[in-house]
Amino acid sequence: MVVYISEECIKNDNLENTVNYVEIYNIVKNEIENQRYNLIEFLAERIAEKIHSFYSKPITRIIVRIRKPSAPINGILDYAEVEVDKNYG
C-alpha cells in the first residue's frame, strides 16, 4: 500500500504531517477480519475509501494492492493480484 500526501506535508521531519501506518494497518486488518467480501477488487476499493475518509490530511493518492495466495485458478501461479489506484488531488 502506498499513501501519498501533499508535498507541503512532507517538507519537514514531523510525524504530525504524515499518516500513521499503525492506524492504516488497523484499518486494513479490520476490513479483512471483520467484513466478508467476494471480490478482492471490492476489498481494495473499500480499503482506499476507509483510509481516505479516516484522515483529514490532504491525501492526494492511495494505491492498494491485494494478493490472494492459492487463488482457485486451474493453473500454476503464486497468487492473484489486484491494484486500485485512487487519485484525490
| Residue 59 parent element (H or E) | strand 59-69
Residue 11 designated active-site: no
4 by DSSP, 3-state: which? strand
**Exposed (0-12), middle (13-18) or buried (19+): which is 45, by Cβ within 10 Å?**
middle
Active-site choice (11, 57, 68, 86): 68
Catalytic residue annotation: 68
